[in-house]
Amino acid sequence: MNETRWLDDEEQRAWRSFVRMTEKLNARLHRQLQTDSELSLSDFAVLVGLTDVPTESLRVSELAAALEWEKSRVSHQITRMERRGLVERVDCPNDGRSAFVNLTACGRKAIEAAAPQHVETVRTLFLDHLTRAQLKALGTIADQVLEYLDSADAS
Amino acid sequence: MNETRWLDDEEQRAWRSFVRMTEKLNARLHRQLQTDSELSLSDFAVLVGLTDVPTESLRVSELAAALEWEKSRVSHQITRMERRGLVERVDCPNDGRSAFVNLTACGRKAIEAAAPQHVETVRTLFLDHLTRAQLKALGTIADQVLEYLDSADAS
DNA sequence: ACACTTTAGATGACGTGTCAACCAAATCTG
DNA sequence: CAGATTTGGTTGACACGTCATCTAAAGTGT
């Protein structure tokens, strides 16, 4: 059992600020979407995932892969969204186990209505406060960290 | 109704990476804490909040302020943690409405056992992949954004 | 003292997320 | 082809978070 290498002052401060920022940012974005468009960030993610493909339809497992969500999470989410008419499940003819998730007209309307406001909020709450250089730097940081996290996923 | 100013390529990419990183990071940290120490990040936050004061005891509202959580969230969390013996509620003698949340011996033991591993994980998953300059830059970004978010809270 | 408002906190309903168990169709293997 | 395994997905239990509602104690004003 080694000595713990605690965070020094700078690390402490940066890490705390970072965590606090992401939590607040997330809470704000969620709230904005919820109150303005009656969608959660999860709803939004699913709708984006579906609109991103030309058919506006994906099998549950494809959706799970695209969002990097667990299958069961997708399943629960789809169940809830189906109740609200945002998406629909359709049995797959080729594969009796599989199910398609289709975007409904209602779902398309919902995301088209929500997206502009959401983007605007991302700007107001976040992007507006960064210079281009900072944006670039942040992107690099995220990609570096993701490279590790993704590789660790694989193993 | 103005034209929506969609994100340009660089913004899109950086924002996506950032979101993806925070989600993954959060999931990993949560999982590590859960499997190694049987604590959630929320449990951990509460325990840190309590150990941060000399008395290891805070009123619910003070805890809520310290963590920037809603009172009801704190209340639910404390209820769950109390069931597991990590904290205890004690009626406040001065103020009949108020309740203290005390760290228990069990709770102190839990966080003391969990903290070193958690810090190590923060390093492995995140800090190790940043240079000092990047860490500093990230801290600055977070503080800039927080300055806005905090000011927006006040109003 | 009495009514009015504010404050501290608890609670219930509901959406969300994870884990483990499960089911049935598909596929592989002897 | 029969039996085992793998794959795609669902389900139930439970932790978590938010919102709205509620209770009771404190504080306020007359």
Which positions 8-47 of A are in contact with B (Cβ < 8 Å)? 10-11, 13-15, 17-18, 20-26, 28
Mutation target for A interface from B8, B10, B21: give the one with most A CBs within 10 A.
B21
Mutation target for B interface from A6, A10, A12, A21: give the one with most B CBs within 10 A.
A21
Is A56 contained in some domain?
yes
What gap in Å lies between CA B63 and CA B106, rounded to an integer? 19
Residue type, B14: A
pLDDT at B140: 98
B116: left (phi over 0), alpha (psi -120 to 50) or beta: alpha
Banded pLDDT at B155 (limits 50, 70, 90): low
Per-residue pLDDT tens digits for B61-108? 999 999 999 999 999 999 999 999 999 999 999 999 999 999 999 999
Is B4 contained in some domain?
no
Is B66 contained in some domain?
yes
What gap in Å lies between CA A46 and CA A52, rounded to an integer? 10
Is A74 contained in some domain?
yes
Say yes or no to pLDDT of A1 above 70: no
Of B54, B53, B29, B56, residue with least CA distance to B115? B29
Is B68 contained in some domain?
yes
pLDDT at A148: 96
Of B52, B107, B58, B100, residue with least CA distance to B83? B107
For A123, the closest chain B residue by CA position comes to B7
Tokens coding B90:
């004690």
Domain that residue A99 falls in? 24-118
pLDDT at B52: 96
What gap in Å lies between CA B55 and CA B103, rounded to an integer? 9
DSSP structure class, residue B4: P
What gap in Å lies between CA B104 and CA B110, rounded to an integer? 10
Contact A51, A103 (CB under 8 A): yes
Per-residue pLDDT tens digits for A85-124? 999 999 999 999 999 999 999 999 999 999 999 999 999 9
Say yes or no to pLDDT of A155 above 90: no
Alpha helices in B52-131 (DSSP H): 60-67, 71-83, 105-125
B131: left (phi over 0), alpha (psi -120 to 50) or beta: beta
- Cβ A97 to strand C below 7 Å: yes
- For chain A, what is the mean pLDDT? 95
Say yes or no to pLDDT of B154 above 90: no
Say yes or no to pLDDT of B1 above 80: no
A129 Cβ contact partners less than 8 Å away, ≥ 6 residues apart: B141, B144, B145, B147, B148
Is A139 contained in some domain?
no
Give me the residue label for tokens 């940290």.
B29
Tokens coding B126:
């995140």
Q: Chain-centre distance of CA A99, in angstroms? A: 22
Is B21 contained in some domain?
no
Give me the residue label for tokens 């299958």.
A71
A33 Cβ contact partners less than 8 Å away, ≥ 6 residues apart: A39, A40, A41, A43, A44, A114, A117, A118, A121
**Contact check, Cβ <8 Å, A25/B149:** yes
Contact A146, B22 (CB under 8 A): no
What gap in Å lies between CA B15 and CA B80, rounded to an integer? 35
pLDDT at B3: 83
pLDDT at B109: 97
B61 Cβ contact partners less than 8 Å away, ≥ 6 residues apart: B71, B98
**Percent of chain A predicted with pLDDT > 90:** 94
Per-residue pLDDT tens digits for A51-69? 999 999 999 999 999 999 9
Report, in angstroms and rounded to the nearest whole number, the Rg of chain A calculated over CA atoms. 19
pLDDT at A71: 97
- Cβ A19 to strand D below 7 Å: no
Is A152 contained in some domain?
no
Q: Which CATH number goes with the domain that contains B87? A: 1.10.10.10
- For chain B, what is the mean pLDDT? 95
Counted domains in chain B: 1
Per-residue pLDDT tens digits for A3-62? 889 999 999 999 999 999 999 999 999 999 999 999 999 999 999 999 999 999 999 999
Contact A31, A121 (CB under 8 A): no
pLDDT at B119: 97
pLDDT at A152: 80
